[in-house]
Structure 1
Amino acid sequence: MGALAALLRPPNAPIRGWRGRRVWIVGASSGIGAALARTLAARGARLALSARGREALEKVAADCGAAMDGEPALVEPLDLTRAEDFAAVRDRLLARWGGLDLVVLNAGTYRPLRAWELTPAAIRDTVNTNLIGPMDAVAALAPTLCAQGEGAIALVGSVAGYGGLPKATVYGPSKAALANFAETLHLDLAPRGVSVFLISPGFVATPLTAANDFHMPALQTPAQAAEAIVAGFARGAFEIHFPRRFTMVLRLLRWLPRRLYFPLVRKVTGL
């Protein structure tokens, strides 16, 4: 019975009550991060919002203030690719709050590129933002959360990391590596009381996906994405992927032989 109970137990401690919970969202100035901030503010979370642009963050913070019943959201601009920026904000939040309950690493970049359009600059810009920045952030967070013996890290990946896709020549690999990183983190941190969530959105209408010039199936709004994420936290799921009618198809495609996968992807995308 003990083994069965272990199998049925969720991988992470479910997060259901948000009132007073200390949440830091990195990449909160637009899209999914901004929508998640507004959603959690309405549920009573204490929020710190980070991204590169102060003006956009202040607008999101004002929106959160209109929904919050408690202290206003903190605005803490930073560049995730600068480890020293992240560490400085971490220290300020710990001094103010005394700890962290959830850090959402949502900052990312996307540039549609075909193989013949690759440049060293484009490669490094994407990998530094989507992979190295989050890894540096975890390096700054893990000792604190392990010392607390509780808390959670959520890494925002993408279903583009499930398999090779046209125009995701750098973006896809960066998100695939992030998923591997999240799995490894869970193995290390869960036994120490720290939850690790991997968020894998499908297509969401954000400033990044606005660059796409192709049909995006099952396109969701940022508000819908935020609700799906909150529901995933409540389940204690390791991977929170949505919309499931789309993501389940992509998950199944991973099991196809490559002689079937390649022509199917070309046919579906038209690329």
Structure 2
Amino acid sequence: MIPLTEHQGKTLLLTGATSGIGEALCAKYAALGWHVIACGRNQEKLTLLASDERVSTLQLDLNDAQQVADSFKSIPDIDLVILNAGSCEYIDDPKHFDGELFARVINTNLISVGYCLQSLLPKIVSGGQLALVGSSASFLPFTRAQAYGASKAGIAYLASSLAIDLKPCNIDVSLIRPGFVKTPLTDKNDFKMPMSISSEQAATYIIHGLNKRQFDIHFPKKFTYILKAIACLPDVLWRWISTRNL
């Protein structure tokens, strides 16, 4: 871990800061001496986060393009942006595909990221970093995850493309792809979550990877390497394995 003194005066803007991985990241970065601009919709949780003098908060709906532009207009230069906010809903009956659910997940997990990038990229300093939170679901298709998986596959492509085009601007891009992490969001899952870790463990993996300026930050490795290996198998095999929920 980078020593505390090297973090003094640095600014992080973090979306999805009021729950799960985002809340853990907020606490850990503040403890490391960063000024954290914590963004979320839950004002009650934001108020609690703001009890730390190193944390300031912004209450906003990232799906509202105008609200995003207005909220981010006056923020200062940023050393690190972590776009972490997201949702997960499953399509239980593919024969009767739920287009509204699909649009809702794509808008929250992907389209809103575009709104954030439009406002925030000009504020990232030379030598700064941008991190997009995707998912290990982008390694391998999973049953019922058509909406969630498609949104996170889009994040993976977006991060890969931005990493190329932002290099001349001296901005490093990271793609964060967690395995199963125990959060209020995943508590609603009705299936087994192998090798799941806590939000605090996930935050530690992320901070370590960002400190090293890694592009692909995936964890826990024993789980994500299994997914990568399965993805190399013939289609008929990985499809069968996917339906078994690993």
| Structure 1 residue aligned with 2:159 | 182
Checking the alignment, whether the CA contact within 8 Å between 2:34 and 2:54 is kept in structure 1 is no
Partner of 1:128 in structure 2? 107
Aligned mates of 2:128, 2:177 — CA distance in 1: 20
TM-score calculated relative to the size of structure 2: 0.93
Please give the TM-score of this superposition, normalised by the length of structure 1.
0.85
2:30–2:54 contact (8 Å) kept in structure 1:
no
Greater shift, 52-61 or 74-83, is seen at 52-61
SS in structure 2 at match of 1:218: coil
Contact 1:76 1:89 in 2 (8 A): yes
Mapping of residues 210-225 of structure 1, within 5 Å: 210-225=187-202
One-letter identity of the residue aligned with 2:114: M
Partner in structure 2 of residue 169 of structure 1: 146
Match of 2:34 in 1: 45
Q: Which residue number in structure 2 is paired with residue 74 of structure 1?
A: 56
Q: CA deviation at 1:175?
A: 0.1
Work out which of the residue numbers 84, 92, 108 in structure 2 matches 1:106. Answer: 84
* 2:74 corresponds to: 92
Which residue identity does 1:28 align to in structure 2? A
The reply on whether 1:60 has 2:42 as its aligned counterpart is no
Query: What is the rounded CA distance, in whole Å, between the counterparts of 2:176 and 2:212 in structure 1?
Result: 13
Superposed CA RMSD: 1.7
SS of the counterpart of 1:24?
Answer: strand
1:149 CA displacement = 2.5
Q: 1:79 to 1:226 in 2, by over 3 A?
A: same
Percent identity over paired residues: 36
Q: Please show how residues 118-157 of structure 1 align to structure 2 within 5 Å.
A: 118-145=97-124, 148-157=125-134
Helix, strand or coil for the counterpart of 1:93?
coil
Letter in 2 for 1:168: A
How much has 1:183 moved relative to structure 2?
A: 0.3
> How far, CA to CA, are the matches of 2:75 and 2:123 in structure 1?
12
1:133 corresponds to which letter in structure 2? S
Retained in 2: the 8 A contact 1:204–1:220?
yes
Q: Give the count of matched residue pairs.
A: 243
Aligned residues of 1:46 and 1:73 also touching (Cα < 8 A): yes
Aligned partners of 1:224 and 1:189: how far apart in 2?
29
Partner amino acid, structure 2, of 1:54: Q
Runs of 5+ unmatched residues, structure 2: none
The amino acid across from 2:56 in the alignment is L
Shift of the alpha carbon at 1:15? 7.3
Query: Which has the larger strand fraction?
Result: 2
